Amino acid sequence: MKAMILAAGRGRRLQPLTNKMPKPLIRVGKRTLIEHHISKLASAGFESIVINTAYRGEQIRRYLGDGSRYNIPISYSNEGKRALETGGGISYALTLLGDEPILVISADIYCRIPFDINFKFNNSQIHLFMVNNPEHNTDGDFSSEELNLSHPSEQRLTYSGVAYMDPKLFVHEKRAFPLINTIRHCISSNNISAELFTGAWFDVGTGSRLHKANKHALCN
């Protein structure tokens, strides 16, 4: 199985840290954000990684290289100066991703979600990892009922930024669009599954959240 790390965002809420550095290269503990994911993917036995880049993408490519020092091949989907958003980024990289299911990870999270190369879909084309709503997203993203989760139907949860996906979902999209559009389409067609992850998870979107993630990483 291949994995894709979404790393094209600008990270404006982390300025001034991101004025001269792309968010995935910010350190959490002893590693950069993106290296935490790469290390886990290599340890789990993934075939290769595709990373999409836009804002200061050359720094990411120069820092990570071809993946040889992580023992996993890395290729890049360069979107130029204008990022194609999360959904458009996947669509743009399809020639690198192939036809088999992939694991998609947002570069700006730090988490202990396990990565499994043997994952199999069960009557769906997308499988989301959900988390309990953090302080910055108290209303959540989707309800348990929408996601076919066996939790109270009124409970709302937050998308973690990690999901298994069938690349065929993105074949006909050739523009910039958010991944949430694809998720909503799968919900409306009852083509989705999900699970709740209750372990360590941080959305490193602001300075205060970065501090919390860094503190956790250094203490564990």
Read off the pLDDT band of 17 (50, 70, 90): confident
| pTM across the whole model | 0.95
pLDDT per residue as tens digits for the range 153-173: 668 999 999 999 999 999 987
The structural domains of the chain, ordered by start, are 2-131+159-219 (3.90.550.10)
* Confidence (pLDDT) at 153: 62
DSSP code string of 111-158: E-----TT---SS-SEEEEEEPPPGGGTT-SEETTTTT-SS-TT-EEE
* pLDDT at residue number 150: 77
Q: Which residue has the tokens 């599954």?
A: 193
